[in-house]
Structure 1
Amino acid sequence: MHRYWCDVLVVGGGGAAIRAAIAAKEANPRAKVVLITKGEFGKSGVTATACSDRMAFHATLAYTEPGTQDNWRYHAEDIYRIGGCVSDWNLAVILAQNSGAAFEYLDGLGVPFVKRPDGRADQFVTDGSRYARACYTGPKTANHIEEALVKKIKTMDVEIFDHLMLTELITSEDGRRVIGAFGLNTEAAESLEDRGLCLFQAKAAVMATGGAGGAFRVNVYPPGMTGDGYAAAYRAGAELVNMEFIQIGLSSVKTKLACSGSMMRAIPRFVNESGEEFLAKYFPPDTSYEELYNTVFEKGASWPVSNEHRSNLIDIAVFKEIDSGHNVYLDYSENPSGFDFDSLSQTNRGRYQAEIKARVSSGERNRSPFDRLREINPDSIEWLKEHDLDLARGEKVELAPAIQHFQGGIKISPEAQTSLGGLYAAGECAGGQHGANRPGGNALMDSQVFGKIAGSQAAREAETIRLPEVPRVLIQQQRHKLEQLLDMTRGLAAGEARMEVQEILSRVASVVRTDQGLTEGLAQLELLRSKGLHADQNGLAFALETLNIFDVAEMVMRSARVRRESRGPHLFFSCPDDEQPLTRDDQRWAKYIVISKGPEGMRLEVREPVRPKEKLLSALNA
């Protein structure tokens, strides 16, 4: 087993992790900073791979609307309001106040943000925000940020280990602080000797491992996003928060493309494998075609699902149609029944006109969804064709609710400190800064703001800490755990176990959630857990990821079952056959659920978030 010593250990390879490592080194140039990432550094994880039609980085700059000195206050209020008032106000303030500096840092590194003729950043309005704050480079904003950060960190004395997976955090004897971590070299993971198992002794650590899309069957994440940070922090004793809030959006099963924006505004047919249009049967019986298709159009601006938008009826319809045993498709080859372009509201027709890229005749516009899509977003047609979906030939886009972003995570303070000493968190791995939802573009910004804070605070704390020794018994326990996973006679194969957990979560903790479904899901999860599992042809790291998915699945289902209301992407139904979810209940549920490890298992506590001062909030709402 290889041993390593460092002042700051950063776990992860995306934007938050790299920013944390850079900040740690900038805060203390003498500190030994180590970064470990499970994938190939700079080419794996969400920041390095995510794309969209115009990916946003939310920032309040000196000239950002409304152009006042305190314009950050409107940004903070949007974060808190869009989050459903179940996040910490002080963290929203930190995000808003530091977003401009985060943008300037990246701009200085050469991220090619689109600028106006006067040199200012071009900014646009994203979902739910009152003012234009979204900066961008184009579809690859996140990729450009990753590239710039990678280039920067390579100029610094930071030791980087890729293909090295976190297996467990190590805590002090009293369990109050993190003193290191175990890692597994995934390229030598079939043997625990030599390079396989690694020990990192650290004065402070930053968790920035991203989300857990891999816990669900359909997701838009790259491979390897299995909630390793959530699970390791939980087992070490850290608190997590808001784990029931997961952004879920209708996406292409084949390509993982988010079917938002123009994909909906073209008004395709929603059909099952028999070609039957099914949307109308899940809407209220008196819904007119005009109302139905205006809702489809508006779905383009309300992706992912949200209790606060009527377009959630579409997500519910797709989920229920799939749950009843059907496959669901978007068909662009012909108009849906009863559709006429002029039946769209004047507002929606105006929005359509504003998006035209390659104008067609009014007759063509009314002819088919394909003609409308080639008018407002011809690039999407080409992109799909490059990914083996040819809409021009009438091929349909298979559709499903896909996991897009975890809103919650390891609970942090304004210093990015977790409830454990020596442990910090940033990015999607962290929780409390966003509530049920977030403004579009805030995730990228969050990774940079709290990435910087986490890294610099970890470096400062490390200066005051003596490097502790790791007891030999902990090393023996870790070896024993891994050796058990390599015993092919124990329990289920990891691949089989993972598929079963993914099916459970996708059935009971996706768009439609009920007490009955979540209770049954937890019982099924416990039965699977009792059987145990072993590494299969996918390898030891895959088996460890699967164990992490078990922990994440329990967090999601337990917290979802406690919250008996609907808020953001959490739609809670009295029973599966109900047409509408329960309403939002601010009187009882404007609170968050905190998860921790208790002596008898997972413990959940309902708490009051940090609230804004009344005078400040009333000023914002004036």
Structure 2
Amino acid sequence: MKSMVELKCDVLVIGGGAAGSRAAYEAKRRHPELNVTLVVAGKYGLSGSTNLIASESLGINAPFNYMGDGDSPEVYLQDMLETGGGLSDPVLCRVIAEEACARIEELMALGLQFDSRDGRPVQRKLSGCTKARSLTCGGSTGREIVAVLKKANAAIGVNVLENARILDLVQDDNGRVCGAVGLVGEEPLHVSAGAVVLATGGAGRAFRKNVNPPTVEGDGWAMAYRAGARLVNMEFFQIGPAVVKPRIKFIIHSHMWRLRPKLTNALGEEFLGRYCPTGVDVGEVVDAKAMSYPFSVRTIAMYLDIAIFKEILEGRGTPDDGIIFDVTHAGEEVLRVKAPITYEFLKNAGVDLARETIELGLVVQNFNGGVLIDADGFTGVEGLYAAGEVTGGVHGSDRPGGNNLIDTQVFGYRAGRKAAEAALCFKEKGTCRHAPKGLPVKIEGVSPQAGEEAILEKSAYLYYRELTVVRRAQGLKKVLEFIDAQKRQAQSQMLINRLLVGEILASAALAREESRGTHYREDFPATGSDWVKRLVVYRGPDGELVVKTEKL
């Protein structure tokens, strides 16, 4: 049995993306005397979804009105509430609308440089936005944000622990979160802390097809749920088109769809027309996709995603689970002007889009739901705060493009500061027991045990097939039956977390008997006025999973 690595800190921040980096920076800046430790699953600056360069452009929203189109915090707020389908928390949305500019100005003061024209940042209009409010650093906006925060964290003395995966939280006898356990490299790890900030991202890697880096499997949700936190809007997450061959992680959106690509299945058939209702033009559907990257029932672009998904599942896709995407008719000059990052990225991967086709599939990208937080990132469990994609409440059934990144900065700022205050109070009063009676996982039971890798693979396939684009009661129940059969014998914390995440997602999707935003129930295709309420998932008094409807 391996010995355990023991660490102590005042504030523990779990996750090295934009949200975690900001939370650690603000915690240390708020109270420089505290020991703030940032735990990163891989190498800091490269780990986490924020650090992927996976699209033509990656935006962060703020209503600066640089383009002079009348944007303002109030217009921004209304866009969030409208796109959210009535399920976005207006209090949290107002916080973002009113604080976005200040948080970005702070990043710029740290050295972040956005794409500009004539010395002024350029703002672009993304899906779900009525105004041009998205700032970009090409396709590397998230990575650039983390880079400036990494440098700032080093300058003020934030400690960083790399290659460490946290799998569960530790609570004292009073229920206060006072640390976490997991692995650092292959060694078991226990970190004691006065307060914890979860910034672990979503769960894309729990699905067979995704555009997320390793370890982004929903561990944050699983450990928060067990600790007593509530989760909200878990049925809403984003799936969209991405390259599956060549085998790179790169999504296809905006300008590529305006080029009117030819889409064919493995049999060489153009198939989109078979899925468009009478009166809906194929060309209009493709054009709509340019302003609606993720699958959503809000626009007619939904028919394109459904078409691709069904062609693949019904056996007419390629061996790599894709369809053929052809823009060779556009020519090299147009591609270099309209989609330069996409063109160069794929050319470096061995495909010249001006002369060759690629294969496109649908991948899980981003989650709208998560741990329910208040305006300060507090989860309702003493000692536990959260920020970024792991959280829920800010985004409803859908969200404006560019909102995920600003969410990391606004609530990373707030959660970090409040966690530092809580840790300082804990340090001064010493009223809670810092050392728990026992750790929640066995040292030898963290990594997958014999035979569990096959179960993880099967879950990834099943979750992708039944929990993504097209959902039906039969398929959702199949997921829950699989989980029920496996969880009784699951031994490792990794598998336990994976099964719990699937149970949470499937239970929420099964409970919402309508279609709204990114949640499409083929057996309940209408959007119901009586469903303008959110679903909250939590652990019941006897350990059972509870799904409860709640009016905002």
TM range (shorter): over 0.9
Give the superposed CA RMSD. Answer: 2.2
In the other structure, the counterpart of 1:278 is 271
**Structure 2 Cα separation of the partners of residues 382 and 60 of structure 1:** 31
Q: 1:202 aligns with which of 182, 185, 193?
A: 193
SS in 2 for 1:566: coil
**Structure 2 Cα separation of the partners of residues 276 and 216 of structure 1:** 28
- Deviates most, 260-269 or 5-14: 260-269
**Closer/same/farther in 2, CA of residues 47 and 374 from structure 1, 3 Å limit:** closer
Amino acid at match of 1:268: P
In the other structure, the counterpart of 1:259 is 252
**Structure 2 Cα separation of the partners of residues 371 and 523 of structure 1:** 53
Pair member with larger Rg: 1
In the other structure, the counterpart of 2:289 is 299
Q: How does 1:182-193 map to 2 (within 5 A)?
A: 182-185=181-184, 187=185, 189=186
In the other structure, the counterpart of 2:394 is 433
Amino acid at match of 1:93: R
SS in 1 for 2:539: strand
In the other structure, the counterpart of 2:113 is 112
Deviation at 1:375, TM superposition (A): 6.4
**Structure 2 Cα separation of the partners of residues 506 and 172 of structure 1:** 37
Deviation at 1:584, TM superposition (A): 1.2
Consecutive unaligned residues in structure 1, runs of 5 or more: 190-195, 335-366, 534-542, 575-580, 610-622
In the other structure, the counterpart of 2:78 is 77
In the other structure, the counterpart of 1:527 is 485
**Closer/same/farther in 2, CA of residues 422 and 379 from structure 1, 3 Å limit:** closer
Deviation at 1:87, TM superposition (A): 1.6
In the other structure, the counterpart of 1:140 is 140
In the other structure, the counterpart of 1:585 is 528
**Closer/same/farther in 2, CA of residues 473 and 82 from structure 1, 3 Å limit:** same
**Structure 2 Cα separation of the partners of residues 310 and 219 of structure 1:** 23
Contact 2:330 2:354 in 1 (8 A): no
SS in 1 for 2:194: strand
- Deviates most, 543-552 or 256-265: 543-552
Amino acid at match of 1:319: F
TM-score by length of 1: 0.82
Deviation at 1:272, TM superposition (A): 1.7
In the other structure, the counterpart of 2:349 is 387
1:513 and 2:471 matched: yes
Deviation at 1:518, TM superposition (A): 0.6
Contact 1:268 1:330 in 2 (8 A): no
In the other structure, the counterpart of 1:459 is 420
Contact 2:199 2:388 in 1 (8 A): yes
Deviation at 1:369, TM superposition (A): 7.8
Q: 2:459 aligns with which of 493, 501, 509?
A: 501
1:377 and 2:377 matched: no
SS in 1 for 2:239: strand
Contact 1:127 1:302 in 2 (8 A): yes
- Deviates most, 369-378 or 436-445: 369-378
**Closer/same/farther in 2, CA of residues 455 and 471 from structure 1, 3 Å limit:** closer
1:181 and 2:180 matched: yes
In the other structure, the counterpart of 1:216 is 207
Consecutive unaligned residues in structure 2, runs of 5 or more: none
In the other structure, the counterpart of 2:438 is 474
Contact 1:208 1:425 in 2 (8 A): yes
Deviation at 1:372, TM superposition (A): 6.2
In the other structure, the counterpart of 1:602 is 545
Deviation at 1:115, TM superposition (A): 3.5
Deviation at 1:11, TM superposition (A): 0.6
**Closer/same/farther in 2, CA of residues 198 and 370 from structure 1, 3 Å limit:** same
**Structure 1 Cα separation of the partners of residues 341 and 391 of structure 2:** 35
In the other structure, the counterpart of 1:58 is 61
In the other structure, the counterpart of 1:158 is 158
Amino acid at match of 1:507: R
**Structure 1 Cα separation of the partners of residues 513 and 332 of structure 2:** 41
Contact 2:172 2:437 in 1 (8 A): no
TM-score by length of 2: 0.92
**Structure 2 Cα separation of the partners of residues 414 and 333 of structure 1:** 45
In the other structure, the counterpart of 2:237 is 246
SS in 2 for 1:524: helix
Amino acid at match of 2:350: D
Deviation at 1:387, TM superposition (A): 1.2
SS in 1 for 2:411: helix
Q: How does 1:121-140 map to 2 (within 5 A)?
A: 121-140=121-140
**Structure 1 Cα separation of the partners of residues 81 and 211 of structure 2:** 26
In the other structure, the counterpart of 1:539 is none
Contact 1:36 1:160 in 2 (8 A): yes
**Closer/same/farther in 2, CA of residues 147 and 322 from structure 1, 3 Å limit:** same
In the other structure, the counterpart of 1:170 is 170
**Structure 2 Cα separation of the partners of residues 428 and 136 of structure 1:** 19
1:40 and 2:43 matched: yes
Instruction: Give deviations 1:500-552, integer Å, cap 9, x for gaps.
Output: 1111111111110111111122112222223425xxxxxxxxx6434322111
Work out the number of aligned pairs and report it.
Answer: 539
SS in 2 for 1:330: strand
In the other structure, the counterpart of 2:18 is 15
Deviation at 1:487, TM superposition (A): 5.6
SS in 2 for 1:96: helix
Q: 1:332 aligns with which of 313, 318, 326?
A: 326
Deviation at 1:447, TM superposition (A): 0.4
**Closer/same/farther in 2, CA of residues 308 and 501 from structure 1, 3 Å limit:** same
Aligned-pair identity (%): 35
Deviation at 1:494, TM superposition (A): 2.9
1:562 and 2:526 matched: no
**Structure 2 Cα separation of the partners of residues 585 and 562 of structure 1:** 13
**Structure 2 Cα separation of the partners of residues 379 and 463 of structure 1:** 46
1:448 and 2:409 matched: yes
**Structure 2 Cα separation of the partners of residues 45 and 600 of structure 1:** 31
SS in 2 for 1:25: helix
Deviation at 1:478, TM superposition (A): 2.3
**Structure 1 Cα separation of the partners of residues 445 and 508 of structure 2:** 32
Contact 2:39 2:164 in 1 (8 A): yes
